[in-house]
Amino acid sequence: MDGKEHTMAYEEDFDAEWYLDTYYEPSLEAVDKDEFLQFTLDSLHDAFRTARVTGSRLLDVGTGPTVHSVISGSQHVGEIYLSDYAAQNRKVLTDWWKLGTRPQTGIMEYVLRRENSDESVINRQDDMRQKVRGILAIDVHLEHPLGSEYGSEYFDVIISSLCLEVASQSIGEYRKAMKNVCGLLKPGGHLILVGLCGQSYYRVGEQTFSSLPLKRHQAEEVLEDLGHTLLSMRWIKTQDSVLSDTKGAFVIVTRAGSTTKTLLRT
Ligand SMILES: C[S@@+](CC[C@H](N)C(=O)[O-])C[C@H]1O[C@@H](n2cnc3c(N)ncnc32)[C@H](O)[C@@H]1O
């Protein structure tokens, strides 16, 4: 697969239904066997329970067609905003929000079990859907990624999962994208970043998408340069897969400084 041209044309080439079917709609039994998914869901759970991430407004950046990243957080915030660059992903999210389609039941069950909760999947879905305030268009490469309506320092919590490294072609671009995203975070707000290490491509349907082969210390350095305090960092080595050349995954939780830093290493 290496050496081939990979696409970055998300609106044209990203098959939202295939992505959801393949990566995020397993049964509970399948989630129990999926190390990466468990790592992500457990880390998100722990961030809200242990690191006490909380606040009024939560933004998920580059949500794709999947809401797994906000299941735990939905219990700790008042309003949820989902966002994506590609219209077809926003359509899947909007259908879930308005109509309750594609409920990701196995993942919901896993998170509820992790919480020791006796809440039903339907209840949690309804609660999440009621808290959603918008499905927003976003481009992390813009200084104001959500446009002028959502000014700077607007959100108490930002989650971003597997977005910035696949949207960037160089570490310089990754740094700028991170700065743009963090500009939406209130001083003292929390960022939860789920990222992949060493990945140069991943498959979605017939297409392979390009990705920046990031090292986890690079993500930490970018955030420290932006004035964030690292609260926790976890990582795992991922298993070999026919779907990507990913080497590992990390989840970093940070608290933004009291003022937004504007200087970045180049
Ligand atoms: C690998 S998917 C990750 C989806 C989901 N967050 C997850 O954890 O599985 C990458 C997502 O980033 C979005 N994306 C790509 N370029 C972007 C950009 N410039 N700004 C915001 N999102 C972007 C894509 O549309 C896609 O939904």
Asked if residue 208 lies in contact with residue 201, where contact means CB atoms within 8 angstroms, the answer is yes
Judge contact between 192 and 157, C-beta under 8 A: yes
Q: Are strands 229-237 and 248-255 parallel, antiparallel or unpaired?
A: antiparallel
pTM: 0.95
Query: Is the CB of 79 within 6 Å of ligand 1?
Result: no
Partners of 190 in beta bridges: 157, 255
- The answer, yes or no, to whether any atom of ligand 1 lies below 6 A from the CB of 237, is no
The string of pLDDT tens digits covering residues 161-218 is 999 999 999 999 999 999 999 999 999 999 999 999 999 999 999 999 999 999 999 9
Query: Which CA distances in Å does 245 have to 75, 150, 178, 242, 259?
Result: 34, 36, 23, 8, 38
Does ligand 1 lie within 6 Å of residue 140's CB atom? yes
Question: For the chain, what are the domain ranges?
Answer: 10-255
Per CATH, is 10-255 categorized as 3.40.50.150? yes
Our mutation pick for probing the ligand 1 site, out of 84, 96, 168, 250, counting the most ligand atoms within 8 A of Cβ, is: 84
Among protein residues, the one with the nearest Cα to ligand 1's atom 4 is: 64
Q: Report pLDDT digits (tens) over 92-114.
A: 999 999 999 999 999 999 999 99
Alpha carbon nearest to ligand 1 atom 15, residue: 167
Task: Give the separation between CA 92 and CA 16, rounded to whole angstroms.
Answer: 8
- How far is the CA of 113 from the CAs of 9, 73, 107, 122, 194, in angstroms? 37, 15, 10, 14, 21
Model confidence over 113-135: pLDDT tens digits? Answer: 999 999 999 999 999 999 999 99
